Chain A
Amino acid sequence: MKSYVYFIILLLIIPVQASLLAPLSLGGIKPDLALALLYVIGLLTGPMEAALAGMAIGLVQDIGSASFIGFSGLTRGLIGFAAGLLGRRVLDLTSRSNIIFMVSFSLLEGIVIAFFLQMFYGSFPFLNLAMSRLLPRALYTGVLGAVLLKLVVRKDVLSVLVRRDIQKEL
Chain B
Amino acid sequence: MRRFGTSSHGVNGKQLKQMPGFIAKHKKLLSIFSLFILLFWLVTIQVKNGRFTFMERPVLAISGFFERIISWPFNTVASIAKGYVLLVGTQKENQRLRTENEQLLLEKAVMNELQLENERLRDALDFKRFYPPDEVMAQVIGKESSPASSTVTLNKGADHGIRKDMAVITSQGVVGKVNTVLPGTSKVILLTDPGCTLAVRVMRNREEGLLEGKLVNCALKYVSYYADIQVGDLLITSGLDGIYPKGLAVARVVSVSKHEARAFQTVLAEPAVHFSRLEEALVLIK
Residue numbers of A with Cβ under 8 A of B are: 11-20, 22-23, 25, 27-28, 30, 32, 48, 51-52, 55, 60-74, 77-78, 81, 109-110, 113-114, 116-117, 120-125, 128-129, 132-133, 137
Contacts and interface: CB of A to CB of B under 8 A. Distances in A.
Contacts of A20: 70
Nearest to B188: A66
A18 B63 CA distance: 9
A19 B71 contact: yes
A68 B41 CA distance: 11
Contacts of B42: 68-70
29 contacts: A15-B63, A15-B70, A18-B141, A18-B145, A18-B153, A20-B70, A22-B71, A27-B276, A28-B276, A32-B147, A55-B35, A65-B146, A66-B179, A66-B187, A66-B195, A67-B51, A68-B51, A68-B148, A70-B43, A70-B46, A72-B147, A74-B40, A77-B36, A78-B36, A117-B148, A121-B214, A123-B219, A128-B216, A129-B215
Nearest to A12: B66
A74 B36 contact: yes
Interface in B24-54: 28-29, 32, 35-36, 38-40, 42-43, 46-47, 51-52, 54
A52 B32 contact: yes
Interface of B: 28-29, 32, 35-36, 38-40, 42-43, 46-47, 51-52, 54-56, 59-60, 62-63, 65-67, 69-71, 74, 141-151, 153, 179, 187, 189, 193-195, 212, 214-217, 219, 221, 266, 268, 274-276
Nearest to B62: A11
Contacts of B193: 66
B66 A67 contact: no
Given A69-B52, A71-B148, A22 B74 contact: yes
Contacts of B187: 66
B262 to A, nearest CB: 10
Most buried by B among A63, A116, A123, A129: A63
B277 to A, nearest CB: 8
Nearest to B37: A74
Contacts of B56: 63-64
Q: Is the interface of A mostly helix, strand, loop or mixed?
A: helix
Contacts, number: 167
B268 to A, nearest CB: 6
B124 to A, nearest CB: 45
Contact of A63 (B54, B148, B219): B54
A62 B43 CA distance: 11
A126 to B, nearest CB: 10
A117 B194 contact: yes
Contacts of A65: 144-146, 148-149, 151
A12 to B, nearest CB: 6
B63 A70 contact: no
A66 to B, nearest CB: 4
Contacts of A81: 32
B226 to A, nearest CB: 20
Given A19-B67, A129-B214, A64 B143 contact: no
A104 B69 CA distance: 33
A18 B142 contact: yes
